[in-house]
Structure 1
């Protein structure tokens, strides 16, 4: 169980647990004002609930293919103050149909050639066999408004692969946040915002989670997560 300031995430039935980089995505991505928002692969419902807190008038749909995670997300949403504005749907995104969205975000599975687990739920959460990047990009292209934004979290190499697929559909990265454990460590995750058309030069920022000692949270990280973390 992970308690945030305005909601609680139970995660005993899901493979993918609350992690720091996902919380950064939920805090950093532009969720707009009002409008329709879509969370692809919601898992516990974490990102949908973070968006509901940040955008108090948005209507949010959260899609999850795994049955156990779907039920866990429903419970987490129903126990939150945002239950009336968040709908959880049990479906592969390739089969999901709805009116276009103003914002779409995803923390997708990204392993491709790694040793697979005998647990199908683990494979679904970590390996992109059921949601390859081509299918993810195609779904975003189909479901995103022309003026909308798509936000995604991936390791650096996988982000470069996704950018290649996205640009073929007219989705181009315009803003990027490189995550490091501390300033001396290599980038381990990248958050990117995409939009249709040519948005000019993209903006790139960096965030170190910890100070150089590797134990104290950085001031920038504390400021970003302050609306959510109980100890900030």
Structure 2
């Protein structure tokens, strides 16, 4: 059985196509949850983001949406074995998800491969390629379940992030925060953490983060962001 142990919960991932990754851990740790009461995790996979956010704010009411049945099995198991079994996992496409209430935070580690070569693994393709969830569909889903002060927080590779930002602009979203992420000091920025809202802002708050030092140890800023989650940090 493949699993990943965090300080307060474990993630079984033998069924889900998308495994625990640095992207997911960064996103779950970076998202702004201040003042939030309800959170929606779109494409929850193993449930990692929902669990991280619940650990950070245990008063959060969290709904997690996942289309893949195998991933749903992992997510429900991980949540049931965690200190927070009240996280609700919905097996459906976000395009048909319905809620009687709006969410203060929406978080997603979205599929981003667009018109690229696919692997023979159909489950992994569904998780990684935009065929089943385009950027505009994700943004539309956020708009449907949000109120004026809701936030949408995502992580994407840089080229896809530029496309996502423009798509958001066309649909009336404003980019409030960006964190440019490098894996090591000598590598270029490879990921962007981004926070959007329907509320306008005068400036976008910019920051940067490097995950590892040249000697492959974690940087102080990465440790400061993620120390509450890693078992040995």
Task: Report TM bin, short chain.
Answer: over 0.9
Equivalence for 1:223 = 224
Distance in 2, matches of 1:221 and 1:94, equals: 34
Distance in 2, matches of 1:71 and 1:39, equals: 16
Distance in 2, matches of 1:67 and 1:183, equals: 39
Equivalence for 1:44 = 46
Equivalence for 2:60 = 58
Residue 197 of structure 1: how far off its partner (Å) = 2.9
Q: How does 1:91-106 map to 2 (within 5 A)?
A: 91-98=92-99, 99-106=101-108
What SS does structure 1 have at the residue aligned with 2:190?
A: strand
Equivalence for 1:174 = 176
Residue 183 of structure 1: how far off its partner (Å) = 2.1
Residue 119 of structure 1: how far off its partner (Å) = 2.0
Equivalence for 2:114 = 112
TM-score by structure 1 length? 0.97
Distance in 2, matches of 1:56 and 1:17, equals: 24
What SS does structure 1 have at the residue aligned with 2:138?
A: helix
Equivalence for 2:91 = 90
> How many pairs align?
230
Q: How does 1:2-81 map to 2 (within 5 A)?
A: 2-81=4-83
Residue 34 of structure 1: how far off its partner (Å) = 4.5
What SS does structure 2 have at the residue aligned with 1:110?
A: coil
Deviation string for 1:155-174 (max 9, x for gaps)? 01111111111112221111
RMSD: 1.0
Distance in 2, matches of 1:107 and 1:93, equals: 13
Q: 2:160 aligns with which of 155, 158, 161?
A: 158
Distance in 2, matches of 1:210 and 1:45, equals: 25
Q: How does 1:142-221 map to 2 (within 5 A)?
A: 142-213=144-215, 215-221=216-222
Distance in 1, matches of 2:209 and 2:43, equals: 24
TM-score by structure 2 length? 0.96
Distance in 2, matches of 1:87 and 1:13, equals: 19
Which stretch shows the higher mean deviation, 40-49 or 161-170?
A: 161-170
Unaligned runs of 5+ in 2: none
